[in-house]
Amino acid sequence: MAEVRITGLHKRYGAFHAVRGIDLDIRDGEFTVLVGPSGCGKSTLLRTIAGLEESSEGTIEIGGEVVNDFRPRDRDVAMVFQDYALYPHMSVAKNIGFGLKARKMPKPEVEARVAEAARMLGITPLLGRFPRQLSGGQRQRVAIGRAIVRNPRIFLFDEPLSNLDAQLRDEMRGEIKRLHQAIATTMIYVTHDQIEAMTLADRIVLMRDGVIEQQGTPLDLFERPGSTFVAGFLGSPRMSFLPGTLTLGGSAAAIRLADVLLPVAPGRKLNGATDGQKVLLGLRPEHLTRAHAARPAQGTFRYDATIDLLQPTGSRSYATFRLAGAPVMAELQAHDVSRPGERLPIDINMNRASIFDVKTERAI
């Protein structure tokens, strides 16, 4: 049980600056997901917390204690690796008990704990096997067992699911979530998969090029992305971005996209915006629906669209059409639309739309 505080953390590999100034507070028992594109420094950050990399600058505190000079063994954390890193020359039981043995725990207690951990994970029949005799999912469980048997202060995961096939991945994702709910230990989880991030996290820390781009609850980041990068990274299919001009003149603000004028939802704050500012309008597919009501609800804008491309997924169909020349995707009910070329009235929910400055790519 421990909180983690990272202050001004930098990591350089020679001339290469992998982590460039991270400040992060993780509360006790929180499930934090570090997410971001490959190479953005997530693993480096995680490994620095574990003590496997030395920081170049900055401090790391675990449980209120600066651990910069602690060996990995003295930090009392556990880590699950992408390739599981099971010891191939040891049985499953030995693998799970290895950390306890390193603690000079008496043998009977080690055995009792290993048995208990195996029971909880449902791998009791596998205890005598060797890692090479296990399937991917079973290895994953052993790797987790190796961690829970110690009840460490923090769990660290580095892309633990990326070597599993899709179905197993969904299943194990649920298991990890359940694990956290049951033991409520601080967990820090690295992934590049936004769905994993959204489903698992109490808090998402979205990284880009060695810095934190934005952090907050999953819904926070999803609904109020701070930048086009965050908006584009979270959510699938991706948010559509439409270039336009902000007009503040008169009573209501609006965004002009070529020949279309979209009124900004009334009451939406436009901090620091100027008249004539070049902006990007960000619309997620679920912000666009087929119009059924006679007149659009407040804050929605109705548009007669001609569908270019239709991608049915079963219950939903993703329909792409052009809005003032730029492609936009709408998420429609399957029965709302039948074929490309169809003309439909689409309601655009401007209450949920995001507006970004073109140059800074920051949200307005």
Partner 1 sequence: MQHTATISRMKAAGAPPRLSAFAQWADRHFKWLLVAPAVLLILALSIYPLLFSMVVSFINYDFQVPGHAFVGVKNYERVVFDPVARWSLVLTACLSGLSVAIEFVLGLLVALTMVRSFPGRGVIMSILIVPLFISPVIVGQAWTLLLQRPFGPTNYILTQLLGQEVTIGWMTESPWLYVSLIIADVWQWTPFMFVILLAGLTAISPNLYEAAELDSVNAWQAFWAITVPHLGPMMLLALTFRLLDAIRMFDTIFIMTGGGPGTQTYTASYYLYTVGFTQFHLSQATAGSWLFLIFTALVVMLLVRRLLKAEPV
Partner 2 sequence: MPVVARARRRKRRSVPIGRILLLGFFLVFVLWPLYWMFNTSIKPSDDYLTVPPVWFPTAPTLVHYKAALFAYRGLDGLINSLIISLSATVLSALFGTLMAYSLARYNTGGQHLSFWVLSQRFLPPIGIVLPVFLIYRGVGLYDTHIGLIIAYTVFTLPVSVWMMFAYFRGMPKSMEEAALVDGCTRWEAFWRVAVPLAAPGIVAAAVFAFIACWTEFFFALILTSRTAFTLPTVFRAFIGFQGAQYGEAAALAIVSLVPSIALGVLAQRHLVRGLTLGAVRG
Ligand X SMILES: Nc1ncnc2c1ncn2[C@@H]1O[C@H](COP(=O)(O)OP(=O)(O)O)[C@@H](O)[C@H]1O
Q: 44 contacts which partner out of ligand X, partner 2, partner 1, none, CB within 5 to 8 A by kind?
A: ligand X
Interacting span for ligand X (CB under 6 A) from 39-47, 81-89, 100-108, 277-285: 39-47
β-strands 77-80, 154-158: how paired?
Answer: parallel
Contact residues: partner 2, CB under 8 A: 50-52, 71-73, 75, 77-79, 81-83, 85-89, 98-99, 102-103, 146, 150, 156
State which H helix or E strand residue 43 sits in.
helix 42-50
Size of the site for ligand X (CB under 6 A): 11
The verdict on 54 binding partner 1 (CB under 8 A) reads no
Q: 205 contacts which partner out of ligand X, Mg ion, partner 1, none, CB within 5 to 8 A by kind?
A: none
CA distance linking residue 172 with residue 161, whole number of Å: 7
Interacting span for partner 1 (CB under 8 A) from 50-58, 145-153, 309-317, 338-346: 145-153
CA distance linking residue 135 with residue 132, whole number of Å: 8
Which of 22, 32, 43, 113 binds ligand X (CB under 6 A)? It is 43
CA distance linking residue 61 with residue 207, whole number of Å: 20
One DSSP character per residue, 77-124 reads EEEE-TT----TTS-HHHHHHHHHHHTT--HHHHHHHHHHHHHHHT-G
Q: Which two tokens stand for residue 40?
A: 């953005």
Q: 92 contacts which partner out of ligand X, partner 2, partner 1, none, CB within 5 to 8 A by kind?
A: none
CA distance linking residue 159 with residue 24, whole number of Å: 20
**Which string of x and - marks every residue 184-223 that binds partner 1 (by CB under 8 A)?**
xx--------------------------------------
**Contacts of 306 by beta carbon, 8 Å cutoff, 6+ apart:** 321, 322, 341, 342, 343
Q: 146 contacts which partner out of Mg ion, ligand X, partner 1, none, CB within 5 to 8 A by kind?
A: none
Provide the 8-state DSSP code for 244.
E
CA distance linking residue 247 with residue 261, whole number of Å: 9
β-strands 343-349, 288-290: how paired?
Answer: antiparallel
Provide the 8-state DSSP code for 228.
H
The interface with ligand X within residues 71-100 (CB under 6 A) comprises none
**Which string of x and - marks every residue 61-100 that binds partner 1 (by CB under 8 A)?**
----------x-xxxx----------------------xx
User: On the CB side of 282, how many CA atoms lie within 13 Å of its CA?
Assistant: 27
Q: 234 contacts which partner out of partner 1, ligand X, partner 2, none, CB within 5 to 8 A by kind?
A: none
- Smallest Cα–Cα separation from 273: which of 306, 301, 249, 297? 249
Provide the 8-state DSSP code for 297.
P
CA distance linking residue 228 with residue 177, whole number of Å: 29
- Smallest Cα–Cα separation from 34: which of 149, 145, 173, 190? 190
Give min distance, CB of 130 to partner 1, in A: 17
User: In terms of CB distance, is 93 or 149 closer to partner 1?
Assistant: 149
The verdict on 146 binding ligand X (CB under 6 A) reads no
User: In terms of CB distance, is 81 or 318 closer to partner 2?
Assistant: 81
The verdict on 18 binding ligand X (CB under 6 A) reads yes
User: In terms of CB distance, is 180 or 192 closer to ligand X?
Assistant: 192
Give min distance, CB of 132 to partner 1, in A: 18
Q: For binding to partner 1 (CB under 8 A), which residues are involved?
A: 1, 71, 73-76, 99-100, 102-105, 113, 116-117, 119-123, 137-138, 141, 148-153, 171, 175, 178-179, 182-185
